[in-house]
Structures are given as C-alpha cells and as structure tokens.
Amino acid sequence: MGESAFREIPGVDEVLCEGRVTQLCEVLSREVVVTLVRRRLAEIREFIGSGGRAPSLEEMVDSIMAEARVLGSLSLQPVINATGVVLHTNLGRAPLSIEALRAAELASRGYSNLEFDLGSGRRGSRHDHVEHILCHLTGAEAALVVNNNASGVLLALTALARRKEVIISRGQAVEIGGGFRIPEVMRESGARLVEVGTTNCSYVEDYERAITPRTAVLLQVHSSNFKVTGFTHGVSLEELVELGRRHSISVLDDVGSGCLVDTTRFGLDPEPRVQNRISAGADLVFLSGDKLLGGPQAGIIVGRKELVGRLRKHPLARAVRIDKARIAALSVTLAHYLRGEALEKIPVLRFIATPLSEIEGRAERWARFLGGAAVVMPGESVIGGGSLPGGTLPTRVVAIRLSGKAGIESLARMLRRHTPPVIARVDKDALLLDPRTVFLEEDETLLAAVRRSLDSLAS
C-alpha cells in the first residue's frame, strides 16, 4: 500500500471549509467540530494503514455530520406512557405533581435556605425541610432522606452492622429489579448476612436460634416484585420486634414502595403502610420516594431518633445525600398528603384511583377518532415498579389490529420514533393503548401520532 493513499487524506482546514461542516460550527462550538474532524481523519489514517481505501470527502463529511447529530441531540426526552404500567421503571417511575415540579424549579433556579437557618442566620440541615412532615405522616420520631432506597439500606447496614451480623429470612434475601440484591448490598456494607429458614417458610424460632453476641440487626425486606404462594409461613413484623426487644437488637424494615394510603380501597392487595410499620415497632423503616408515594427519586428512612442520628453522622451519608431540587419536590409531595389532596394531585395515585367509567369514556373517544382498526377492549393496568407484585387494575384499552404481527411491530416502532415518542403495549397481534397512564393534556398528541402512523402504514 503506497504513500499516495495517505496523500489523498485532506487536512483539517480543508474539511472545515466544506459547506456542511462550516454550518455545523453555528450549532456546535468550533472547538468541538475541530475535534470531530481530527478524530475522523485519524480513523481514516488508521483504516488506510491497515489496507483500506480513502473515503471521498463527501463520505467523510457524511460521517462527521452523523456523529454531530448524535452529539447534539438530547437523548433524554419526555414520552407518552400508553402502556398502562403506572410505575414503569424504564419510563422514569413516578411523574411529579405540578406543584412538586414548580417547587423543584424554584429551588434550582436561584438560591434557597437549603442548609441555612433563617431564624439564627446559622448553618441548618437540608433534612429539616422534610423531617417534620415525615414524622407527622408516619408517626416516627425522626427521619432522614437520601439519594434512593437502595442507598438508604446500604447506609443503615454500614452504620449499624459493619463487621456484625444481620439476620434475614432466606425468602427475603432477594433481588428487587434493577440489580438491587439484598445479599450484595449486605456484602458492600461489610455486614455478615445470616440467612434463616427456607425459601418458603421461616419462623421466629429460626431467628432466635441464629442470634449471637455479634447480631446487630434483624432485617425484613418486603417482597415487592414477587409472590410466594402455596405452603408458606412468614414472621410478622410484630414477632420480630418482640424478639428484637428481648435481645436489644434493632429491627429494620425495608418496605420498598412506601405507601401511605390504603391500597385495598382501589381493589388492590394491601401494601405495607409506613405508619403501621412504625406503630408495630420497627426501629427503622426504608422506602422509595418515587414508587407509590409518587414523589421524586429518594430514599426515605424513618424511625428511632438515636438510630437516625447515627446514620446522619456516618461519613457515607454525605456520599448518598439528596439534592435540593428533590428535597423541594418531596416536601411538596408530602404536603399533598397532609392537605388531603394526594389522590387528586399526585399523578401515580390519581391514575390508580381513576374510575373505570372515566377510562372507558376516554377509550371510546380514542377509538372513535381512530376509526376502522381500533376497538375498545377490557384489559388490565399494571401497578409495576417494584410494588404490589401482580397488582393490576381493570381497565379499558384501545386495541389496534393490523394484518400480521409485522404490521403491529412497525406501528409500535413508528410510535416510538414520534416526537414525543408514544410507548404502547404489544400483545400478540394487537397494539394496546391504555388511557390510564396518559395525561389528559397528552390525548391530542397521542391520537395525532397514532393516526399519522396508521395512515403512513396504509399508504
């Protein structure tokens, strides 16, 4: 391979003078464009060195433009969730209330008294903004808020059980979606996991027999994403608390979803309610901010003052701390509960509480608008997101059938490529749209997207 191939490679300035590349410098900084050009030229040199042929200037610019497009486009964007999965982990779990959003915006736009005591003019604590209200809602003595529930559990096990033993039922040493595995968190915390009982059965005597002078914690983990049925026996929180008291061992309770309202009123299974876990005597209760609570991503820890104090002082607390925008959003979300307006204001709860008749009316309007291929059918909305395993609500979906599975897959793909993307459910030979998780103000956009996609598939 001769020198001539290398001589064909243009210089950086030559590429920069190319019309499309010059225009690119108006969208991206010149420095970034120069880097893209240099990198592409280096790749070409390497390609030629290994026996390849030099691309034309045109091709070179094409590939630079393609890379610039990826770089310049914002990847994270809002989508319309027509899946009916209320807490969809892949779609960002809980949407915030308008008021919570506004609070986050205000706290982020300017300065705030995040860690400043306006009374004394001295340093304050970011936790003060939510501790009172959390204590009031749950009946706990103290509260602490961290980055997410996984980090809350990690912080507590590190601060309270490092180089000590934590007893857990074998049936609860589980994985809760997204790679949160209790045994792994335990290992990272430096605590030693002592599993008792069997996968389906454990008794309080199993725990008692495993207690040693090194036992620091009895841990309960809610089975947020699976159900054990058939021949089973579990140990109640009350039994664990009684055992913990007798041996002066703390009882920690990871409820996961963190529900404050009674889920049975919507026809769902009972989900552990934080206030009941506190009154049952748990020393610390852990919950997520963005599951059934309906707030921002957060790990909420409520419980005994002395233990919460130890967590606050632990160096890891700084590493898992929560930011001001989410503290603002969380405090407003919690205020919705105090004001008795949670079911109307918090999207997750509003979606769960929407009467079937309302969903049916909307589905019928959608089907009428879409015509032909669309029919209303009974279906099930899923709660999802690591809460209420198997929890579903009866719903009405708009089902669109096209000839063949390929047609449905292309329709789903077109909807995903729409701006904003529309995410639907594909069930065998039908595309299903569930109004439950679609905001009212998204209706028109969604219908226009479906109509346009159907039209372009037909043509």
Ligand X SMILES: *Cc1c(COP(=O)(O)O)cnc(C)c1O
Tokens 């608008």 sit on residue: 369
Q: How far is the CB of 137 from ligand X (least distance, A)?
A: 18
Instruction: Name the residue nearer to ligand X (CB basis): 92 or 139.
Output: 92
Whether residue 355 is preceded by a cis peptide bond, meaning omega within 30 degrees of 0, is no
State phi, psi for 386 to the nearest 5 degrees.
70, 45
Other CB atoms closer than 10 Å to residue 356's CB: what's the count?
A: 14
Q: How far is the CB of 297 from ligand X (least distance, A)?
A: 6
Query: Measured between alpha carbons, how far is 60 from 44 in angstroms, rounded to an integer?
Result: 9
Task: Identify the CA nearest to 107 among candidates 293, 313, 349, 296.
Answer: 296
Q: How far is the CB of 88 from ligand X (least distance, A)?
A: 13
Q: Where are the beta strands (DSSP E) in 223-277?
A: 250-256
Instruction: Name the residue nearer to ligand X (CB basis): 288 or 437.
Output: 288
Instruction: Name the residue nearer to ligand X (CB basis): 180 or 351.
Output: 180
Q: How far is the CB of 252 from ligand X (least distance, A)?
A: 11
Distances, alpha carbon 158 to alpha carbons 252, 278, 287, 323, 342, in Å: 13, 22, 17, 22, 34
Instruction: Name the residue nearer to ligand X (CB basis): 82 or 287.
Output: 287
Residues found near ligand X in the complex (CB under 6 A): 148-150, 176, 180, 221-222, 224, 254, 256-257, 288, 299, 386
Instruction: Name the residue nearer to ligand X (CB basis): 106 or 319.
Output: 319
Q: How far is the CB of 157 from ligand X (least distance, A)?
A: 12
Q: Which residue is nearest to ligand X (CB)?
A: 256
Instruction: Name the residue nearer to ligand X (CB basis): 195 or 254.
Output: 254
Give the pair of three-digit tokens for residue 211. 């207690």
In sequence order, the 6+-apart residues with CB closer than 8 A to the CB of 240 are: 204, 207, 218, 220, 251
Q: How far is the CB of 148 from ligand X (least distance, A)?
A: 4
DSSP, collapsed to helix, strand or coil, labels residue 51 as coil
Task: Identify the CA nearest to 172 among candidates 85, 88, 272.
Answer: 272
Instruction: Name the residue nearer to ligand X (CB basis): 386 or 407.
Output: 386
Instruction: Name the residue nearer to ligand X (CB basis): 176 or 412.
Output: 176
Length of the chain: 459
CA 438 to chain centre: 18
Q: How far is the CB of 224 from ligand X (least distance, A)?
A: 3
Q: How far is the CB of 436 from ligand X (least distance, A)?
A: 21
Helices 443-458 and 356-370, packing angle to 10 deg: 40
Q: How far is the CB of 455 from ligand X (least distance, A)?
A: 40
Task: Identify the CA nearest to 352 among candidates 445, 269, 444.
Answer: 269
Instruction: Name the residue nearer to ligand X (CB basis): 222 or 277.
Output: 222
Q: What's the CA angle centered on 220, arms 219 and 223, to 5 degrees?
A: 145
Sheet with 392-401: list strands edge to edge.
374-382, 392-401, 430-433, 425-427
